[in-house]
Structure 1
């Protein structure tokens, strides 16, 4: 049992004979098995009788041989196995290989039995790899290796004092703990989202969990957060609508109407533009929602851009919107363009100078604006543009169909309707 792995059928046959002998009272008769053998072979502290589990015992004996091979690599049998199977790698890392002998497979089974319970005991640390070996109580560190990071644990020890080099360790692994992160946000009121937002995020996580289990659709955490924020905005708009119409049951609600979408004046068209920037790929997506004074959606579109910064994306969004309005033939009408970029609005109004990186874009805007006699550029808060923000992020995740501007997604319809109702619009053509 200490050399080869016994077949499972043989172990069960031996255990069956032991169990029959235990319950048999007459040599000529079969005894009644009053308890399962799985219970009988449980230790006495667990409520069993402590009969030996042959398969577990076989695995423990093989683990003992694997432990000997790890600690005695210079023995004769260790050198034979090393020359045959792992002459260029470590025994702990070697794979099973092709067409291995049964004795080698048995030894690997013993290795897998003891590896989860083996930890390095740090001495000088010369042979312990920082990220790959298991030398901490939490297990291996893992993760990518930085360019300046040492490879061995010995480099984390001060050679003079033989103590840990704490400044170096904090510099290399200055990652905040999750409990510290939660505590910081729990004690800072500005970082705590509302209960409605938390509930929507939990609901989206639950929905994505079900989609992964039943539809094998990989979860997207960014989409979960974006949808949760959009639905939370819908709920807030519903509260505002009930409050403004006097249907609220409690008078304790405090409604911040400053951050609500407001309809334009009569005969005006309001275009809300927003962008979603991805610094890693230096690209972004913009979205524009055009609505009239009754809150009715008249036009919607998204566009992908290469951009060096989020501000450059906002400038390109304004430029594209001006070109789009001209192509639609409505540039002569009364138009309000709203953006959440204060710098962009100030530069267009001449209050600030444009950065040199975006100077050519602003020159193009300056050349286009005289062709719009009644256009106005305003600043609005991000909370008042939830529909465009959701559409830009959804376009970046490739979640929108090619004809989404014709068959608008339900969540966008709800966002537009909620903005209109909360601002007192009728949503009718009358």
Structure 2
């Protein structure tokens, strides 16, 4: 019905010609589809949002009610529909796989994170213990892999329990002393909160195999065109051979007369039509095109290259702290450079600091800002302007919402 509505014209009575199946239309735009929703898949994302609330807010009234009725003696992920469940609870149970894939732990003290069968590493891949590991390790928490007197990994214990790749992944996971509470995060959003949009992407990847229907190519060239949506839609239809050309109509078993315009005569396909139209347009606009080329080649053209942004000194009685984080390819650490200058551009202080382990770019930039804030606070410099080149960190710093990553 939805496919007929999309391809139909002139009211609901005209079903039109279904040039493409709904499965192909529902593919992501980057794969050659239109990005429409699979309703059956989308309907799983809504109850999984309720499951996320039960998982992350266990003290709410509805979470306590579900736990008391359906999983009083186990955790949410270990629960089952049970006897005579409600439709809502059945739907939540059917969508739990989305939460398993999409959520992970933010490591605080590690006392609430089970070591096994939980996503607490960034890559969410399972850990591989060594073959002779004791079965008594099954009840361990992530905190058991840390040092007792500091928030650092216990390298000896980790190396004794896991194979080399798993141990390297654990040791590459940063631990931040400022983060003290364990909390579940949604990996699909930078804020760490569940969203139906990101859950839908996970659900499609798990349930629907579109690898055999994808059309390779940079489809962003079509969707990023600065043109009205109907023009983008037309170009997409041309690329996907969804126009009523003579060849395509004949493929659909539609008889059409040979008395057609020159553009679509002689069994032309969609590509021939668009090339014909472009050829006509190029002839009409040839004079304008030549004029543009002449202006572009003129040596005294006023077109200027964008100038590099210059450093600006701070206002009176203030200092400026410039911060930069670099990620050397031959190192497993993040290099932080901090430079402080006064209102006359005179050098005051500078330092370089190395952080271990290497992290993602925006995390490294955020840590460099945190290090600079601590250092400036210790120096008691008064009014300070901070300058760095990470827009994501700057926006997150000024945002009222917390970025849980």
- Is this a same-fold pair by TM over 0.5? no
Larger radius of gyration: 1
TM-score range, shorter chain: 0.3 to 0.5
TM-score (norm 2): 0.37
